Amino acid sequence: MIKYLLGILLFLNFTLPGTAQNAKIRVLVFGAHPDDCDISSGGLAALYVAGGHAVKFVSLTNGDKGHQQMGGGELAKRRYQETQEVARRLGVEYEVLENHDGELLPTLENRLEVIRRIREWKADVVIAPRPNDYHPDHRYTGVLVQDASFLVIVPNILSGVPALPNNPVFLYTRDNFQRPNPFRPDIAVDISSVFPKKLDALDAHVSQVYEWLPWIDHDTSVPTNTADRKKWLANRWLTRSQPNSDIRQTLEKWYGKERAAQVKQAEAFEICEYGKKPTEADIRRLFPMLPAKP
């Protein structure tokens, strides 16, 4: 009888989300457009994958408006193909929903689709943008994930998909918006070692990083040669992923002052007050790339 009970406990320890020290961690990143997840969390994803964990990116729109020359189904198809190349390069899964770019709304239907994906992925960690942003698709992606954060454990909501037994940790991605409140870097991760992997992921979004985004910025300096383009991309993102003073302080908390001073590239995340309220021990378990407490 004792052996039987111990067997059940061992089984539960390795099957319920967020309970096992050595279990595979399951991470789900939501973005509004087919390149958003890579921009916010590409380095973190690479670290998780390198550690044998499971990562999925989900774009809530198909990105069919994000280009200066092409659009509609042709652009949506191109951007989907770019996401699948990212999936190959990073070792993640990448799903793109068929909502139109610029038309995402926080409807009940979309909320249920978000709940479905969190449950089906059995997510331990869910990452999304904050609901204050210049782009309505970004804002509503944040709202939809917020609205799903409690309901993923409610059995009578979307009853055809089993509710999660444990609420995931929900995190916001970094932004520079100050109102109604600035981004707070609760967790900062050193991605210096996998920064080339993040660049590889961004490089796959040719329609965006070499065409659409430079066009928006009136930047005509993008090289035509493939090798030179990659160097251009690296220079563009070197400064964007460097830790500012607030993130540097957070790095010191998680890595210690000496190690934090050596970090060249970082990604940072704010803990959402909905969902699981993680302790420091929870965070170190769910972010195994962080070192033991310094």
**Degrees, nearest 5: CA angle 121-126-131:** 135
| DSSP labels, 143-205 | HHHHHHHHHTT-TTSSTTSPPPSSPPEEEEEP----SS-----SEEEE-GGGHHHHHHHHHH-
The 10s digit of each residue's pLDDT in 166-184 is 999 999 999 999 999 999 9
Q: What is the pLDDT of residues 54-87, one digit of tens each?
A: 999 999 999 999 999 999 999 999 999 999 999 9
Q: Which fold has domain 26-286?
A: Rossmann fold (3.40.50)
- Looking at residue 49, its pLDDT comes to 98
Compute the average pLDDT of residues 17-36: 81
**Spatial CA neighbour of 117 closest among 148, 86, 156, 147:** 148
Residue percentage of the chain with pLDDT more than 70: 92
188 within 8 A of 32, measured Cβ to Cβ: no
Rounded mean pLDDT, 121-147: 97
CB 41 within 8 A of CB 267: yes
Q: Which pLDDT tens digit goes with each residue over 139-153? A: 999 999 999 999 999
CA distance 222 to 215: 10
Residue 3 has pLDDT above 50, yes or no: no
Asked if pLDDT for residue 4 goes beyond 50, the answer is: no
**Range with lowest mean pLDDT among 22-26, 119-123, 127-131, 196-200:** 22-26
**What is the end-to-end Cα distance of the chain in Å, rounded?**
42
Half-sphere exposure (Cβ direction) of 85: Cα atoms closer than 13 Å: 16
Which two tokens mark 59? 């774009």
Between 13 and 82, the more confident residue is 82
Average pLDDT over residues 228-232: 94
- How far, rounded to the nearest angstrom, does the alpha carbon of residue 230 sit from its chain's CA centroid? 23
Predicted pLDDT at 294 = 65
Amino acid at 129: P
Q: What pLDDT, on a 0 to 100 scale, did the predictor assign at position 39?
A: 97
Beta bridge partners of 267: 189
H-assigned helices in the chain:
2-15, 36-50, 72-90, 108-121, 136-151, 195-204, 206, 213-216, 226-240, 245-255, 257-260, 280-286
Residue 227, C-beta contacts closer than 8 angstroms, at least 6 positions apart: none
Which of residues 170 and 16 earns the better pLDDT score?
170
- The rounded percent of the chain whose pLDDT value lies above 90 is 88
- Distance CA(107)–CA(291), nearest Å, equals 41
> What pLDDT score does 7 carry?
45
| Confidence check: pLDDT of 163 > 50 | yes
> What is the three-class DSSP state of 14?
helix
pLDDT at residue 76, rounded to an integer = 98
* Token digits of residue 90: 């990073």
Give the residue-averaged pLDDT of 193-205: 97
Q: What is the mean pLDDT of the chain?
A: 92
Mean pLDDT for 193-198 is 97
Q: Evaluate if residue 1 carries a pLDDT over 80.
A: no
Statement: residue 25 has pLDDT above 50: yes
Going by DSSP bridges, is the β-strand pair 266-275/169-173 parallel, antiparallel, or unpaired?
antiparallel
Task: Place 133 in a pLDDT band, splitting at 50, 70 and 90.
Answer: very high
195, HSE (Cβ side, Cα atoms, 13 Å) = 22
Can you give the residue ranges of every domain in the chain? 26-286
| Per-residue pLDDT at 240 | 87
Mapped onto helix, strand or coil, the DSSP state of residue 43 is: helix
| Mean pLDDT score, 209-224 | 95
